[in-house]
Structure 1
Amino acid sequence: MIRERLGKELLYFDGGMGTLLQAKGLQPGELPETWNVTHADEIKNIHKQYISAGSDIVLANTFGANALKFHCDDFPLEEIIRLAIRHVKDAAEEASGGRRIYTALDVGPTGKLLKPMGDLDFETAYETFKEVMILGEKAGADLIHIETMSDTYELKAAVLAAKENTSLPVFATTIFDERGKLLTGADVPSVVAMLEGLRIDALGINCGMGPEQMLPILEQIMKYSSVPVIVKPNAGLPKQKDGETYYDVSPEEFASVMRHVVDLGAVVIGGCCGTTPAHIAEMVKQCKDIPVKPIEKKSYTVVSSYGQSVFLGTGSKIIGERINPTGKKRFKQALKEHDLDYILKEGIAQQDNGAHILDVNVGLPDIDEPTLMKEVVQELQSVTNLPLQIDTVDTVAMENALRIYNGKAMVNSVSGKQESMDAVFPLIRKYGGVVIGLALDEDGIPATAEGRVQIAKKIIAEAAKYGIEKKDIVIDALAMTISSEPEGAKVTLETLRRLRDEVGVCTVLGVSNISFGLPSRPIVNSIFYTMAMQNGLSVGIINPNSEDMMKAWYAYHALMNLDSNCENYINKYAQQPGTAPVSATGSAHKMTLKSAIERGLREEANSITSEMIQEKDGLEIINEELIPALNTVGEGFEKGTVFLPQLLMSAEAAKTAFAVLKEKMDSSGEVQEKKGKIILATVKGDIHDIGKNIVKVLLENYSFDVIDLGKDVPPETIVDTVLEQDIHLVGLSALMTTTVVSMEETIRQLREKAPHCLVMVGGAVLNQDYADMIGADFYGKDAMQSVHYAQRVFGTEE
């Protein structure tokens, strides 16, 4: 079993498949997986070459074999996967020389974005992957390798499909950019935290870069990962010469850097696009005598969202308590009326005021908590990138939320009661998470710190039986109201101190509990909060909209040298000599349309626009509110402070506002002038339309008239449409190296038949040099660059 070898010896993957098939005659647009049937000997021969080169793990030719990407009536998916696995095993019998060769089911992305960014439902993605995983195990795969993933949400769907429906080891690798981010914004710690929580067998990075460019990403992965690490770089970036695509990193150069990769701690290595049997053979030759570094267990306590990691244990973090009906009449009303917009605004206000994590509790009598919890978590993750705390005693609601949560959530809570641990720990083991352990059990809440510490130790010991480590447990020392428990604060503070010093576990408190029944509660709360932080409080559940609490937080971190050069304190208070209290929604005035769009609040954008259109004309609103909001978000995206989900949700909010404006403008005869007509298409043979769809949404929001020809579009269709519609700008997208030749042919035909038309190109496999070589007028590194180019072409740039 490969699990027994992982981390104890260096294991070698194979290299690229697509580029080798192209060299053997794979045509643009031809599905590589069909060669399992039509060119079986060629596929087996490639596998044999890699095995002879020293590969221990060989990927079956199944990267695109899923129902959303593989559309071929002549070849059933089951047959494709069965033959692909068989070809690896046959090759192993002929070329292994008695070595153990592992056959890996290769699982790539669906080519679609999941909701709310795209149109693919999480469970639909799950079912798509589930079918592939079951077929792969049935066909005899030894492991599942999920690779080239650029979205943690789709990655989670794939990992769950593998773990829940097979008994096979599961590896997963993602594709980072040079900033260390996935397409949808996740950083290295958040990817590692989520995958480790899902109990992955090995994780790492593949594709997108050459080996040299991967080193900084690998260093981060090694810092945070406690599981074996995989590295599979490209042989550099694709280039073109005399009409042929090539990669510029030689086998010797590749192997030399891979030696450094092993020195850094990777234990499974191989190649991706452009690598050949020669690259793998040289890599094995140069790396085989390097001692393997033992896998080190890391002790970071991390909660994450799709785009942000929060580390507990240094300083004290803030969990915003406002999305919780306890003692909140207006919030209860919002839950009963299904007023999700109010809930979202509460989340945004808390983020603006300094929360690091948002508590989510929707439990009320007569409410379908499992359904509403799932819905609120989905909606919150569409407007904020803060990690969430799933706060419920309903284990069905807990599982509903954990299943669709995009990241590694905090979970509130489990107690020392055996019944509670039996119910909650299996969910944490399955989905991952940082679980809050309440220091109480069947006998209630101990009156002493010793009693609470003993319950904490019991929770930690029971969690270990499920493979849940101490780093994923945070103990609630329990703040008891001093109006009825005079010694309550002293016991809680001692408990915090002992949990920090003796047990070595992170801690949490619902701070405001301390002052129930007392007048001027903020006075007591803020002083107790400061004392708790001084005694080791890792994270406090507080109201971040309370100026008293936030003053305590900022001052404490400045005083304890946890705020370098008092920078955060100065930024917060330098311009606020007489700060007014912050309102419950985080603002002393009504939210503007610009702010609603920047935040991605669709319903808010709709209602504000409906009010504004009664007093202002539509074009004025577009020019003064919509476009400036989109520009602000776009600038943030380009600077790396805003990520794809926020960009797309802002675009959706703008679209909602524009729909209101359009209806009014149409009825009044007011016309919004279109800025130019643009064709977008994913080129022939390529069925990935993520990039194209993102560009389309943004161009339409900037008032361009977009003709979307879809995906897998022949050059002739594009040329004919250009001529029929008198188009002056075409945007072409390609995600696969095998289809860039289609892009080049499309450009050639446009130059011949429509020389007036400019062409902008984009896609993961492209770069500026490659775009120049195939004759494009412009290469867009991201969607916003495409917007800027279109503005220049049509003379609308501001």
Structure 2
Amino acid sequence: MNILEKIKKELVYFDGAQGSVLQEMGLKPGELPELWNITNSQKIVELHKGYLDAGSNIILTNTFGANSFKFSGEDNEYSVDEIVSAAVDNVRKAIELTDRKDNDHYIALDIGPTGKLLKPMGDLDFEDAVSVFKEMVDSGVKNKVDLIVIETMNDSYETKAAVLAAKENSKLPVFVTNVYDESKSLMTGADPISMVAMLEGLRVDAVGMNCSLGPAQMVDIVKIFNEYSSLPIIVNPNAGLPHSENGKTVYDVDVEEFSDIMVEIVKSGARIIGGCCGTTPKYIEKIIEKTKDVEVKEITKKNNSLISSYTHAVEFGKRPVLIGERINPTGKKKFKEALRNYDINYILNEAVKQEELGVEALDVNVGLPEIDEVEMMVESIQEIQAIIDLPLQIDTSDYIALERAMRIYNGKPMVNSVNGKKESMDAIFPLVAKYGGLVVALTLDENGIPEDVEGRIKIVEKIYNCAKSYGIDKKDIIIDSLAMTISADTKSALATLGTLERVKKDFGGITSLGVSNISFGLPNRDFINGTFFAMALEKGLDAAIMNPNSHEMMKTYYAFNALSNYDPQCSKYIEFASNIETGNVVSIKNNIGSKLEGSSNLQEAIIKGLKEQANIISKELLKEKTPLEIIDKEIVPALDIVGDGFEKKTLFLPQLLMSAEAAKEAFENIKIHLEKEGKESQKKYKIVLATVKGDIHDIGKNIVKVLLENYGYDVIDLGRDIEPELIVKTVVEKQVPLVGLSALMTTTVPAMEETIKLLRKESPSSKVMVGGAVLTPEYAEMIKADFYGKDAMESVRYAESLL
């Protein structure tokens, strides 16, 4: 039976841990588990057979890290294809040896993260990431696996790269699980709803979570998935938290407790269950025993209309959504000039201003005949997403620009626009079907814009039907009934509002309008815009593309929400009205508005991640202030504000890193200034950072490095997969007082412990801080570390405490 057919009918079971079980089998600290596919294949076969005998349906190949960053070049004895081929063969051998006779098992190509951050946060290009995953997918297809499982992903962007590699190079089912923390978000900020939006848009076949958390911490996340996901839900928890006993890694949730909670998880909506770190075949056997007769929830189609960024989703149809229209050259002389001059900083400032005014999404239109719109659109999307976490509307009539932008967009975008012309639908709908998106549909076709409601409704029907033929649900079409200026036709507003009302009543559809279009050619346009906006909201308008600088429209919006019970305790209206009276900007963003009061322009530039502005302002400040003043009074306070927001989860990792990059621009100017004066910039003490032996995942280490350098520390970055002896030698020779060690995988934590033991012997005065997804404060204490940092800012705080 096809795996997707099986899932529709019953519970399906994954296998459990590989890394922790392989350690029990003798995998040495720092040894690459994927190599065992070739060098110790009997043990890998034994591993898989254990889970097959326990009753697992889906067996993951031992290829979690079998990418070209580990297996390529002259130093590697085996290629990616050789590793994957051997891994698939080992699963097949295990299937032959199992006592099970049901033939109810599937071989899944296991794809884990590369261990690198993608640009702009890191140095890995998006398309390079796609290529790395493609190599694994090609080998899996060649070796005839049954499905592809993309797992343990803690970044939405890398997840998208892996999914595209799988979908573009195979016809296999694609399952995806991400790593959520206690705050129910990924390392780079994405919450469950945003991941559901993006992954359903990319048309994967099942979604869910694995690793990091135990089963109890996943129950509430499963409930969120069940509310929003139309796909089968996967849940593969850890066996709780790890700790060390007699030199071995053990987990604190036993088989009975784990399986009891998995029953609750199935009742909450999970359809595919198994285990991750610490879950041996006994765990799988027990969860099968306890859940096999549990009635599963029906997999139902959800009708939530969503767009998303890399942190969160915005839903249409619940209450009106504001989309900022200011990133658009139409009628804007300065904006056109900025586009001609390739002034990305101008675009970023427009984005920041609108974000501060409270819009929930941004329209991005950079179309100008005399520029390269494709390149400008791609760069604008990338740069805006680097500093702002609002979802974006990609607004272009250039199909090439649209596809390029949709491909590199981090999330599920809004797409502006399609219309009833066959050419338009045949160009736009395949892109929406491939990349996902909520597409704005204009009520015009080859015959132009109908003057009456009936004519526009016929186009709406045509668009819905055509979208359906491409597999696009009505929930992903947002109808724009076209606001045409009443200065040319005083009946046009009535046709627009009538169509809007019919879309809501007849189809249950969602609607948007470019509100300001209604008043072209008239004086005091805001009077007309504000009143028309109110009329449209009363008819059920779901989204307005509008100018958030318009007091009339913003007054209408906040008043309407208060009157319609969309604003509990009228809190947003009160905040808006109070700020209007005092002349202040209403800043909804990140709860840092109050901290910006009285701050310098440099502080604001750093907090907002505006690198070019930080560069310009710091140069000017050096004319009147000393470098030390700028560092102590401007840069460090700004970093502290951002760090505080990161720790409180009001800012996320991408924003933290972009602020660090802006600070780096200022620091670079200070360095140049000091060199001209024949001085050297003063560094704090030395810190050695390294990812331990056998681990190529250096995301966490690199983030810590960036922040420590911005706080003035002299960081010696040894890199990844570093032998304990080299770490200790460096520490001793350079008399380093603080060492930071990172490990992502269960299999490499013993190498961390080994490194600490050697440090204690050779450099007992040195402090050791550790971090990584598989670590806990208790485990860090067990391996004799001085400090456990759950995130990069905690590491900085610890370094500061030692000064």
Task: State the TM bucket, normalised to the shorter chain.
Answer: over 0.9
Partner of 1:661: 670
The yes-or-no answer on 1:113 pairing with 2:117 is yes
Distance 2:582 2:127 in 1: 51
Q: In the alignment, is residue 722 of structure 1 matched against residue 731 of structure 2? A: yes
The offset of 1:580, in angstroms, is 7.2
2:695 to 683, 686, 695: 686
Match of 1:185 among 185, 189, 197: 189
Quick check: 1:172 aligned with 2:176?
yes
**Cα distance 1:668–1:547, how it changes in 2: closer, same or farther (>3 A)?**
farther
The question of 1:789 aligning with 2:798 is answered yes
> Retained in 2: the 8 A contact 1:64–1:70?
no
Q: Which residue, 741, 749, 755 being the options, matches 1:732?
A: 741
The question of whether the paired residues in 1 share the 8 Å contact of 2:358 and 2:586 is answered with no
Q: Deviations over 1:396-423 (max 9, x none)?
A: 1100000000000000000011111111
- Does 2:231 align with 1:230? no
TM-score, normalised on structure 2? 0.97
The Cα shift of 1:570 comes to 1.1
How far did residue 671 of structure 1 move?
Answer: 5.0
Aligned equivalents of 2:766 and 2:390: distance in 1?
A: 44
Structure 1 counterpart of 2:224: 220
Note if 1:772 corresponds to 2:781.
Answer: yes
Mapping 1:733-772, distance limit 5 Å: 733-772=742-781
1:44 match: secondary structure = helix
C-alpha displacement of 1:575: 4.7
Whether 2:707 is the aligned partner of 1:698: answer: yes
Show structure 2 runs of 5+ residues with no match: 588-592
The correspondence for 2:399, drawn from 392, 395, 399, is 395
* Correspondence 1:79 to 2:88: no
Once residues 124 and 79 of structure 2 are traced to their aligned partners in structure 1, the CA distance between those partners, rounded to angstroms, is: 23
Between the aligned partners of 2:306 and 2:236, the Cα distance in structure 1 is 26
One-letter amino acid matched to 1:18: G
Q: Over aligned residue pairs, what C-alpha RMSD do you find?
A: 1.7
Q: Which residue, 617, 630, 640 being the options, matches 1:631?
A: 640
Task: Give me the whole-angstrom Cα distance separating, in 2, the residues matched to 1:428 and 1:748.
Answer: 54
CA displacement at 1:668 relative to structure 2: 2.3
Match of 2:473 among 459, 462, 469: 469
CA separation of 1:223 and 1:39: change in aligned 2, threshold 3 A: same
Shift of 1:36: 0.8
Tell which deviates more after alignment, 474-483 or 676-685. 676-685
- Local SS of the residue matching 1:104: strand
* Paired letter, 1:442: E
| Counterpart secondary structure, 2:152 | strand
Counting only pairs closer than 5 Å after superposition, residues 126-525 of structure 1 correspond to structure 2 as 126-525=130-529
CA distance in 2, matches of 1:694, 1:546: 40
> 1:619 corresponds to which residue?
628
- SS across alignment from 1:46: helix
CA contact (8 A) 2:533 2:556 kept: yes
The SS at the match of 2:222 is helix
What do the CA deviations read for 1:234-274 (whole angstroms, capped 9, x no partner)?
Answer: 11111111111111222222111111111111111111111
The one-letter code sitting in structure 2 at the alignment partner of 1:461 is N
Q: Between 139-148 and 455-464, report the one with greater CA deviation.
A: 455-464
The structural deviation recorded for 1:5 is 1.7
- Kindly provide the CA deviation profile for residues 395-454 of structure 1, in whole angstroms up to 9, marking residues without a partner as x: 111000000000000000000111111110000000000000001111111111222122
Find the residue that maps to 1:744 and give its secondary structure. helix
Give yes or no for the alignment of 1:540 onto 2:544: yes
Equivalent-residue separation in structure 1 for 2:231 and 2:611 (angstroms):
40
1:141 match: secondary structure: coil
Tell which deviates more after alignment, 75-84 or 430-439: 75-84
Q: Within the alignment, does 1:712 sit opposite 2:739 as a pair?
A: no
Residue type of the partner of 1:679?
V
Tell me whether 408-417 or 611-620 shows the greater mean CA deviation: 611-620
Deviations 1:283-307 (A, max 9, x none): 1111111122211111111100001
Give the total of aligned pairs: 792
Work out whether residues 198 and 436 of structure 2, in 8 Å CA contact, stay in contact via their aligned partners in 1: yes
CA distance in 2, matches of 1:601, 1:226: 39
Letter of the aligned partner of 1:81 in structure 2?
A: V
User: Which sits farther off after the overlay, 775-784 or 553-562?
Assistant: 553-562
Q: CA deviation at 1:323?
A: 0.6
Any conservation in 2 of the 1:304–1:310 contact (CA below 8 Å)? yes
Partner amino acid, structure 2, of 1:20: V
Q: Secondary structure at the match of 1:691?
A: helix
Contact 1:147 1:172 in 2 (8 A): yes
Per-residue CA distance 1:103-128 (angstroms, 9 max, x = gap): 00000000000000000000000000
Q: TM-score, normalised by structure 1?
A: 0.97
Equivalent-residue separation in structure 2 for 1:238 and 1:582 (angstroms): 46
Q: Map residues 526-675 of structure 1 onto 2, 5 A cutoff.
A: 526-577=530-581, 579=583, 592-669=601-678, 671-675=680-684
Cα gap change, 1:720 to 1:588, in 2 (>3 Å): closer
Maintained 8 Å contact 1:409/1:432: yes
Contact 2:579 2:586 in 1 (8 A): no
Q: Is the 8 A contact 2:579 2:585 kept in 1?
A: no
Partner SS, residue 464 of structure 2: helix
Q: Contact 1:8–1:294 at 8 Å: present in 2 too?
A: no
3-state SS of paired residue (1:319): strand
Contiguous gaps of at least 5 residues in structure 1: none
Match of 1:3 in 2: 4
Q: Who is 2:590 aligned against?
A: none
**CA distance in structure 2 between the partners assigned to 1:776 and 1:60 by the alignment:** 33
- Checking the alignment, whether the CA contact within 8 Å between 1:238 and 1:246 is kept in structure 2 is yes
Distance in 2, matches of 1:639 and 1:581, equals 23
- Please say if residues 201 and 227 of structure 1, whose CA atoms lie closer than 8 Å, have aligned partners that are also in contact: yes
Contact 1:349 1:545 in 2 (8 A): no
Query: SS of the counterpart of 1:577?
Result: helix
Judged with a 3 Å threshold, the aligned counterparts in structure 2 of structure 1 residues 306 and 575 are, in CA distance, closer, same or farther, namely: closer
* Residue identity in the other structure for 2:486: I
Cα distance in 1 for residues equivalent to 2:584 and 2:277: 57
* TM-aligned CA deviation for residue 665 of structure 1: 2.1
Q: Distance in 1 between matches of 2:477 and 2:719?
A: 47
* SS, match of residue 105 in structure 1: strand
**Residue type matched to 1:724 in 2?**
E
Deviates more, 1:148-157 or 1:611-620: 611-620
Contact 2:576 2:586 in 1 (8 A): no
> In structure 1, what is the Cα distance between the partners aligned to 2:110 and 2:716?
35
Secondary structure of 1:574's counterpart equals helix
Q: Deviations over 1:45-78 (max 9, x none)?
A: 1111111110111001111101023356222221
Moved more, 67-76 or 508-517: 67-76
Q: Distance in 2 between matches of 1:519 and 1:482?
A: 12
Instruction: Measure, in 1, the Cα distance between the counterparts of 2:693 and 2:665.
Output: 33
Q: Deviations over 1:678-730 (max 9, x none)?
A: 11111111111100100010011011111111111112112211111111111
Q: Secondary structure at the match of 1:321?
A: strand
* Residues 173-210 of structure 1: CA deviation (Å, up to 9, x unaligned): 00000111000000111000000000000010000011
Partner Cα distance (2:273, 2:482) in 1? 47
What amino acid is the match of 2:465?
A
Greater shift in the superposed pair: 442-451 or 536-545: 442-451
Alpha-carbon separation, structure 2, partners of 1:293 and 1:591: 55
Give the structure 2 partner of residue 23 of structure 1. 24
Q: Is the 8 A contact 1:618 1:670 kept in 2?
A: no
Please say if 1:50 is aligned against 2:54.
no
Q: Is the 8 A contact 1:547 1:582 kept in 2?
A: no
Q: CA distance change for structure 1 residues 563 and 16 in 2, over 3 Å: closer, same or farther?
A: same
